[in-house]
Amino acid sequence: MAVIDALYLGLIMGNQGIMEVLLLGKAHALELIDKQSYSIMVLSIVLFTGILAPVVKFSYKPFERYTGSKGMTIQYANPFVELRLLACMHYEEHTPSIINLFEASYPSPKSPICFYVIRFVELAGRSAPILMAHHPSMKDPFIPQDSEPIINALRLFEREKRGHATVYPFTAISPYAAMHNDVCSLAVEKNVSLVIVLFHRHPHIHVTKGEATAIRAVNQNIIKKSPCSVGILVDCGAMNYCVPILSHVCVYRIGVFFLGGPDDREALAYARRMGQHPNVYLTLVQFVDADMETAYSSDMEQDLNIVNEYRDNDVMNERCLYREELVKDSLGVVSVIRRMTICFDLILVGRRHNNDSPLLAGVSDWNEFPELGCLGDMIVSSDSANKVSVLVVQQALSCESKMGDPGFIRERSYVVPSMHYNDGSLKVVTGMPITV
């Protein structure tokens, strides 16, 4: 236990309540203490409790231990070491979407994947929250009946991967307000690189408005407090097949819209792993501001490095494509996205971008779901005719104090400048042709 945790635990344990007041009243009635001592003791209890409660509430941040680090992202993970992902679901209907995303992640002999899956069940009554692990060799009598099909589907997926993928299912029974604690604790314990949550809206699941609001709040808490990267999967129906998509299609098209910044780099790092799947065709679409030259920075250097690494290595694979789009304003970005979304089955985008950029000017004003970011919200907006699935990625936050600081986002997200490559061109299209 950390010293700060021990300190706050001592303060909380030293707190006195109604039982102590009753004992003092009994002692006063038995004339064990006089009236003056009784008054002083009761007043001290009231003052101590009144001061302690707000102090602990506003100063103690238990989720600081969930602070992210470079070791808990896909971008900085060792590509030759087992990758660990954690998926969260609330309903049985989420199972096909999760399994199809697992399949697209491409567990392989060179880079196996360990999948942890949490099925959430709302806590009823006053029972204590429970996090149960389901072992294949043990029959758990407390497992909810509707969780059995989920576990069976996950076990079947694990057997089909023949040791390249390992699945550990869990059931978390807790109130909605505390569900994110199970996710964050398990992510820290298992050293997970990416937490995947399902968007609170799903075309095949009808939930009440109260349930949707509660699930959305859970997702927002995970985004804010997760120790690792987070992906919000918006399945508009393209991934909701009972049979894994990549097992019966020849081509599965994945696109990445890249504006720059840590979240876009994390999305690209995950997409590059997906691009190793023999049935996946991957396209990186990088937006370049045609008018503005941004001052060079270390963050921009990381953008250029990962893009150049993709162009130099992945594009050598005929299934990978790089496309650079020259745009002047947000209208250009919107036009390109609406024109190209029809080309993909799944799109990966970063969640946070520089809202002061001319490429996103005015877009955030129409953002219905801030947890999806500007681009993610744009793609899944109700007025869009296309129903492509979207994975919105947020890289692990570096420290709790920067979680809600807009300056942190502006500091770490930049518009990619106009770049001239070795072939002398400004707009480069390399790899397989794509119809737009």
Q: Are residues 322 and 217 in the same domain?
A: no
Q: What is the reported pTM? A: 0.79
Edge to edge, the sheet with strand 113-122 lists 130-133, 165-174, 113-122, 83-89, 194-198, 229-234, 389-394, 346-350, 252-258, 280-289, 320-327, 429-430
Q: Are residues 282 and 159 in the same domain?
A: no
pLDDT in tens, the chain (436 residues): 567 778 877 877 777 777 788 888 888 888 888 888 888 888 888 888 888 888 887 777 766 666 554 558 999 888 788 999 999 999 888 999 999 999 999 999 888 999 999 999 988 766 778 888 888 766 666 666 777 889 999 999 999 988 899 999 999 999 999 899 999 999 999 999 999 999 988 777 778 888 999 999 999 999 998 999 999 999 876 565 555 556 666 788 999 999 989 999 999 999 999 999 988 999 999 998 877 655 566 778 888 899 999 998 887 888 999 999 888 888 888 889 888 888 899 999 999 987 777 787 777 777 888 899 989 988 887 555 567 899 999 998 754 334 344 433 333 333 333 333 334 333 333 333 333 3
> In angstroms, what CA-CA distances link 360 with 62, 217, 255, 366, 369?
35, 26, 19, 11, 16
Q: Are residues 202 and 269 in the same domain?
A: no
Distance, CA of 333 to CA of 300 (rounded, Å): 19
Residue 307 lies in a domain: yes
User: What pLDDT score does 195 carry?
Assistant: 97
Last residue of a domain, one of 21, 41, 60: 60
Residue 242 lies in a domain: no
Q: Are residues 383 and 297 in the same domain?
A: yes
Residue 89 lies in a domain: yes
Q: Are residues 320 and 189 in the same domain?
A: no
Last residue of a domain, one of 234, 260, 284: 234
Over residues 280-315, the pLDDT tens digits come to: 999 999 998 877 655 566 778 888 899 999 998 887
Q: Are residues 78 and 193 in the same domain?
A: yes
Domain span holding position 187: 66-234
Q: Are residues 275 and 401 in the same domain?
A: yes
* Residue 187's CATH number: 3.40.50.620
Q: Are residues 45 and 104 in the same domain?
A: no
Q: Are residues 82 and 221 in the same domain?
A: yes
Residue 47 lies in a domain: yes
Q: Are residues 259 and 288 in the same domain?
A: yes
Our count of domains for the chain comes to 3
Last residue of a domain, one of 45, 60, 75: 60
Residue 310 lies in a domain: yes
The tokens of 375 are what? 């681009």
- Residues making up the chain, counted from first to last: 436
Q: Are residues 186 and 281 in the same domain?
A: no
Angle separating helix axes 148-160 and 95-104, nearest 10 degrees: 20
Environment class of residue 368 by beta-carbon count within 10 Å: exposed (0-12), middle (13-18) or buried (19+)? exposed
Residue 435 lies in a domain: no
Residue 243 lies in a domain: no
User: What pLDDT score does 170 carry?
Assistant: 94
Q: Are residues 230 and 255 in the same domain?
A: no
